[in-house]
Amino acid sequence: MPIEQRVMNAPARPTAAPSGGIKPKKDAPAAEPEAPAKKSKKLLFIIGGAVVAAAAGAYFFLFAGSGEEKAEPEPVPGEVLTVEAMSLNLADGHYLRLGLGLQLIADLHHDVDAAKARDAAIALFSGRTVADVTNPETRDALKAELAETLIHDYHGEVIEVYLTDYVTQ
């Protein structure tokens, strides 16, 4: 076999580069240009992640605070509006005489109509049994439900409800 054919069929061997390193033959594919692209993408992701983490930390520090919710200040109690006592029909021919006191907020600049309170009390207590309205636990639960209803109905102008008259027969 002539020398020219043996050289062409021989596997490619790296040759020494002038800098003393090994230089691949021109026929071999170059793998080096891909490595910098992968390194730059990796670096870009690391920098991007650090920026996102810093932004999240700044948001938490500036806007979230110490984790405590900023609660609205407690309303200052004002006058107590007395709702005239009324007789409510209970089950089995009994009745309940019920009087209320509505604790209003201090900075109220108009008169409060007691009609909403009377209507809510009638809807809540009417038709109950004597046992329901005389049991202390049930009575307290009914009072709490009435207070919640009136706070909602009066849009925060009422902050507490007192039972001023409570007689069953």
Read off the pLDDT of residues 103-127 as tens digits, 9 standing for 90 and up.
999 988 888 999 999 999 999 999 9
Distances (CA, A) of 122 to 22, 54, 69, 82, 148: 99, 59, 37, 16, 15
Farthest-apart Cα atoms in the chain, separation:
129
Residues 6 or more apart whose Cβ sits within 8 Å of residue 24: 12, 14, 30
**Residue 59 pLDDT class (50, 70, 90 cuts):** confident
**Residue 73 pLDDT class (50, 70, 90 cuts):** confident
Look at phi and psi of residue 65 and say left if phi exceeds 0, alpha if psi is from -120 to 50, else beta. left
What's the pTM value of the predicted model, to 2 decimals? 0.58
**Residue 57 pLDDT class (50, 70, 90 cuts):** confident
Output the pLDDT for position 78: 92
Angle between helices 136-153 and 115-125 (to 10 degrees): 140
Output the pLDDT for position 83: 96
CA 103, 161, 146 angle in degrees (round to 5)? 140
Mean pLDDT taken over the chain: 81
7-53 pLDDT, tens digit each: 555 555 555 555 555 555 555 555 555 555 566 777 777 887 788 88
